[in-house]
Amino acid sequence: MPWWTWILLWVALIAVTLLCYVFMGIRLFRKFMAMLHEFSAAGEELGRPLHPSLSVEDDGVPSSKVFGAAVFASPEQMRHDYVTAKASRREVRRQRRVKRKAERGQPQSLHDIEFS
């Protein structure tokens, strides 16, 4: 094999290696920028207050419950709060269901209609 083929072979190998390094660098840069974007999104998410002191309930009335109050409350009080909140959520769902069926002209379920 002549001497110039060895030079040509090594030049081609070095060029392919450099091309691979360039592609890997571009890929690494794109992944790094995506990671920075995710970090900034996570920072914005974590920068917001975790537990606002006054949260707005579904009915628009602000709630003054403090996060972590369940630790120091009595079990009876927490059970009562749980049951009343559950009943409230069920009633809101029932009202939405009745409203939705009335808007669509669908027949109402006897369970959903209030007789009182």
Q: Can you name the residues that pair with 63 across neighbouring β-strands?
A: 55
Residue 69 is predicted with a pLDDT of 75
Tell me the average pLDDT across 30-48: 92
Residue 65 is predicted with a pLDDT of 66
What is the spatial distance between Cα 79 and Cα 105, in angstroms, rounded to a whole number? 39
- Average model confidence (pLDDT) across the chain: 86
Share of the chain above pLDDT 90, in %: 59
Residue 116 pLDDT > 50: no
Which residues have C-beta within 8 Å of that of residue 57, sequence separation ≥ 6? 63
0.85 exceeded by the pTM? no
Q: Are 80 and 70 in contact (CB under 8 A)?
A: no
What is the spatial distance between Cα 90 and Cα 110, in angstroms, rounded to a whole number? 16
The token pair that represents 102 in the structure block: 């009335």
Tell me the average pLDDT across 9-27: 98
